[in-house]
Amino acid sequence: MEIWDLNLRHLYAAMEICEKGSISAAADAVNLTQPAITQGLVKLETLLGQPLFERHPDGMTPTAAAVIFAPRIEAALANIGSTRVTMAQLRAFLSVAEHGSYPTASAMSGLAQPSLHRSVANLAIALKRKLLERRGKGMALTTQGRALARSFRLARAELAAGLSELEALKGRETGVISIGAMPLCRARLLPKAVAQFHSAYPESEIRIVEGSHAELIEPLRDGELDLLIGALRDPSPGDDVQQQSLFEDHPVIIGRHDHPLKNQRSDLEKLASYPWIIAAPGTPLRMRWEQMFESAGVACPGVPIECGSVITIRQILLESDFLTLLSPDQVAVELEAGWLSAIGEPPEGLHRTIGTTTRAGWMPTVMQRDFMAMLEEASNN
């Protein structure tokens, strides 16, 4: 099933029953009649394919499924922020927000345009906010609309995680892990962990989105990614994310196999006389590269080419006298084949911390926790 099949008021009622122990007490909290809650609960349990409560003459006891699902419901509703929002409105607004126009949202979601217009308009009225404004032929989010879209995405992520956990309870280890992969982790760490994970969870799905930290941090905050893997930022990007170290990476200076400086003693003044291809300013590797020269009192050389793609860097190195600073893992095949060479070791103490970045307060599923453990194991081998 999909989260769009769920009814938010039924979820709210189920959470209240968990907390208060009876339908009558929950009815007062959610402003529904007891028969309405009873009927809604039956529909919810039918959708989920398992009971959420054991019925007793004196009340209701949560099952294991309810104990698992209730925190996800609570987190989702906290992000939605209003009991007036319906699932149809949430779905319609996210579809328009993510596709930029009603026609495209309709084509991608399968929802009729009139239905989308009606749901988004009713949502704006219910929340008393202007969410969208027309720009040319498309729609753009207002400031309030952008904030709401992020909250709704996080709510969607929580409910999707909850459904995955309920499937696991039934013996079906399904679900999705969405990973933001920065350059360094793609060479060895991530492939090793993913291979081990797929062997343990063959029915699961792994989505890997490649990019720089700047490209991936907002999708992480939006709930579109579960975690980022790569060089950690110092200082941290903000209180809304958490960084966890995996290992220290020690980059080396790389050039073509017959570079003029090969087999020569490392001399930063000589190194500075050659052209460099390096990542953009502000990235950990670029900052370490600048530190390498500045700490020795040597002016940083010019950077004719800024690039974070290892494939592009490799090809340029093979055909020129350019130098770069990379982890040996990123060009292990090229070094072993003799196409590229380590020109020299950078000064001692030059390193960057590789790890994971997740949302503060993120509640990983069992499957996601297992992947994190495999990632840590892969980083130690």
Ramachandran region of residue 103, left (φ > 0), alpha (ψ -120 to 50) or beta?
Answer: alpha
Place of tokens 């929580």: 158
Q: pLDDT at position 361, please?
A: 92
Ramachandran region of residue 289, left (φ > 0), alpha (ψ -120 to 50) or beta?
Answer: alpha
Confidence of residue 344 (pLDDT cuts 50, 70, 90): confident
Q: pLDDT at position 188, please?
A: 85
Mean pLDDT of 261-277: 89
Tokens of 158: 């929580």
Q: Which CA distances in Å does 225 have to 98, 151, 185, 188?
A: 15, 14, 16, 21
> What percent of the chain has a predicted confidence (pLDDT) above 90?
76
Whole-number Å distance between alpha carbons of 232 and 245:
8
CB of 153 closer than 8 Å to CB of 223: yes
Whole-number Å distance between alpha carbons of 278 and 345:
16
Confidence of residue 380 (pLDDT cuts 50, 70, 90): confident
* CB-facing half-sphere around the CA of 300: CA atoms within 13 A: 16
Whole-number Å distance between alpha carbons of 22 and 13:
10
- pLDDT of residue 351 exceeding 90: no
- pLDDT of residue 39 exceeding 80: yes
pLDDT digits (tens, 9 = 90+) for 285-313: 898 899 889 988 999 999 999 998 889 99
315 alpha-carbon distance from chain centroid? 30
**In degrees rounded to 5, what are phi and psi of residue 235?**
-75, 170
DSSP string, 193-233: HHHHHHHH-TT-EEEEEE--HHHHHHHHHTTS-SEEEEEPP
| Domain annotation for the chain: domains and CATH numbers | 1-172 (1.10.10.10), 174-249+351-381 (3.40.190.10), 251-348 (3.40.190.10)
Mean model confidence pLDDT for the chain? 92
Q: pLDDT at position 375, please?
A: 95
Tokens of 362: 């993120």
Whole-number Å distance between alpha carbons of 116 and 88:
9
In sequence order, the β-bridge partners of residue 25 are none
Q: pLDDT at position 171, please?
A: 83
Q: Which CA distances in Å does 59 have to 20, 43, 62, 140, 178?
A: 9, 19, 10, 48, 40
- pLDDT of residue 352 exceeding 90: no
Q: pLDDT at position 58, please?
A: 86
DSSP at 331: G
Sorted by sequence, the CB contacts under 8 Å of residue 42 that are 6+ apart come out as none
Q: Which of residues 139 and 10 earns the better pLDDT score?
A: 10
